[in-house]
Amino acid sequence: MPQIRPSFWGSTLTPFLYPALLDAALLGSAVRRCLLHRPPPLRTRCYSTITDHAPPQSVPPESRSSHLDPTPDNYSLTPFADRCILTIEAGAGGHGCVSFLREKYIEEGPANGGDGGSGGNVYIQAVRGETSLHKLARRRLIKAGRGRNGQGTMKGGERGADIVITVPVGTIVREIQRRDPVEEAIQAQRTVKRYGQEELAEEDPGSYRKGRWLVFPGMVPTELNRMAFPALPPPRKSHLAALQPPAPIWLDLDKHMETPMLVAAGSMGGLGNPHFVTSNQSRPKMATRGDEGMQISVQLELKILADLGLVGLPNAGKSTLLRALSNSRARIGSWAFTTLQPNVGTVVLDNHKGRPKVIKRMRDGELRDNFTVADVPGLIEDAHLDKGLGLGFLRHIERAAVLAFVIDLSAGDAVEALKLLWREVSEYETLRGKELNAETERRMVTYRPSARSAAPKEDVGELDSPTLNASLEPLPFLTSTPISSKPWFVVASKADLSDTQENYKALQQYLEDVKSNTQPHPSNRKHAWRRNVCSVPVSAIRAEGVEVIPQLVMDLLEE
């Protein structure tokens, strides 16, 4: 990884916040005395660079709050849901039409009923800009449009409306339950043909089934009893069903999708009465109903896929740092747990109005104009045991490409705070590894036939293996980089407060020892990332020093 550019350190807080770190010969005695005896700053808006001047009296009191030091009611609480269960239902097919030609001089015209339209399809697409699943959690049921019924003069029904489900990038889709009436009918027909047992059919092939047949309006029951119904046509599947992912669905939508993916194809429509014309029955008075749509219950789980994840103790300044980096209106306050749900902000690198702040290209060669930052709620000791906000938000750290540990320099020993955060993250990583191994063992259990099934296969057939709703094949697991192997750096917040210089110097020395293998990695893991570990002193409330972070993140993303 390239070293941090020295030119960026000129704009940080180091020259004027930590004069002890500079060479004494570079500063005059008067300037050094002024910096050393500088009074602690107040949490007020900076109206001028000259501190002797008072703020203008013409400014109304309600407008004196800034974006970084807002009033208590100046924040937006965005609804957030990271997990939900959704029922997806494809559109049912429209019914066929029973119609006959009616023209002058034609007393009894031929059948001309149209077929029903096919049902609508359900697609899913991961798009940028979405950050939560709360919209889908409210709906719970998403149903595509039903196909229209056929009409006379051989007019086919209109196809049902399609539905596109938009989810955030980084959503995992797991199938829970599936009901496919068409597939069940196909399997039942194969069973009947294989064993030649007509008694397995629900009814005789030529009988009237109210759920499958439509008859001409106005027919009396006596005429209906005398009518000879043909055998039902075989169940049909839409040709788009070949594009569906194999069951059970297990998708990891970790990239932006230009085109949506088909999840549930719509059912076929019913057949009109011209399909049942025979030599003995030239004017059939029946048509078939459309097939029912398939239903799939899926679980959507969001692991925030952000370029930068902010990790820190409560009230360490993570939300203020997010406001300083982006236009987020996350809630901030001087008490712990002001952030109760993850906040996602976008840092703009190029607003296309001039020279971009940082020029970086993605792997496909496209210029990068922004990156995302996830503010995870504060962690406390034993968070991996689900204390505090615990496991509910620790899992979001797994999907951050780069981690930034926000340490409050005014809240005690910075080195101990960093070790505490890494200990909780490392324990959570161990816990997740145990869960993954247990899940792998459970999925790898395959069916073994009993001893009595040692007979030849033609004698026992396929009835020896049980019919299961889920596949016996092990499902693919999510592949992600271990948290300890991710690039990381430290953001030393509240560096503008007094008596923080020594704490920062101790933190800086500890990181140098970690980088040179003198000190063990704070996670105590063997293959943890320790190359070019650095720290950035910032004052988020004043937006000072934060301009270094975009360049640093872009460099670490290349790892």
Other Cβ atoms less than 10 A from the Cβ of 179: the count is: 14
- The CA–CA distances, whole Å, from 213 to 192, 276, 288, 535 equal 21, 12, 5, 74
Q: Report the candidate in 163, 176, 168 with the shortest Cα–Cα distance to residue 80.
A: 168
Using alpha carbons, list the distances in angstroms from residue 437 to 284, 393, 440, 444, 495. Answer: 62, 21, 5, 11, 43
Tokens of 553: 């993140």
Q: What are phi and psi of 454, to 5 degrees?
A: -75, -5
Report helix, strand and coil shares of the chain as percent, to nearest 5.
30, 20, 55
Q: How many CB atoms lie within 10 A of CB 239?
A: 10
CB under 8 Å to 129, separation ≥6 — which residues?
A: none
Indicate the pairing of strand 163-168 with strand 370-375.
unpaired
Classified as helix, coil or strand, 331 is coil
User: Is it true that the peptide bond before 248 is cis, omega within 30 degrees of 0?
Assistant: yes
Question: Across-strand partners of 140?
Answer: none
Q: Which amino acid is at 229?
A: F
- Give alpha helix (H) positions in 258-377: 318-325
How many helices and strands in the chain, by DSSP H and E?
12, 16
- SS3 call for 87: strand
- The token pair that represents 6 in the structure block: 């020295």
Compute CA distances 286 → 233, 236, 421, whole Å: 13, 19, 72
Cα separation, 13 vs 7, whole angstroms: 13
The residues, ordered by sequence, that sit 6+ positions from 232 with a Cβ below 8 Å of its Cβ are 205, 209, 212, 288
Find the radius of gyration of the CA atoms of the chain: 34
pLDDT by residue for the chain (559 residues), tens only, comes to 445 444 444 444 555 455 544 444 444 444 344 444 444 544 443 333 333 333 433 334 443 346 666 665 556 556 777 789 999 999 999 999 999 998 888 888 899 999 999 999 999 999 987 878 988 998 889 999 999 999 999 999 999 999 999 999 889 999 999 999 999 998 888 887 776 654 444 445 567 788 889 999 888 888 888 888 888 899 999 999 999 999 889 998 988 899 999 999 999 999 999 999 998 888 999 999 999 999 999 999 887 777 888 888 887 777 788 888 887 666 565 544 555 567 777 788 877 777 777 777 666 666 777 888 888 775 555 544 555 454 556 677 777 889 999 988 888 888 998 988 888 888 877 776 665 555 555 555 444 444 444 444 333 333 333 333 433 333 344 456 788 888 999 999 888 888 888 899 999 999 999 988 888 888 888 888 888 889 999 887 787 888 888 889 888 887 7
Helices (H), 48-160: 134-139
Q: Distance between CA 257 and CA 471 in Å, rounded? A: 27
Helix (H) or strand (E) holding 437: helix 414-443
Q: Which domains does the chain have, with CATH numbers?
A: 78-196+208-302 (2.70.210.12), 306-436+482-557 (3.40.50.300)
Give whole-number Cα distances, 557 to 350, 367, 488, 551, in Å: 17, 14, 10, 10
Tell me whether residue 288 is exposed, middle or buried, using C-beta atoms within 10 angstroms of its C-beta: 0 to 12, 13 to 18, 19 or more.
Answer: buried
182 C-beta neighbours (distance < 10 Å), count: 21
Provide the pairing of β-strand 250-253 with 261-264.
unpaired
The pTM (predicted TM-score) of the whole model is: 0.70
The contacts of residue 151 (CB under 8 Å, 6+ apart) are 97, 99, 113, 114, 157
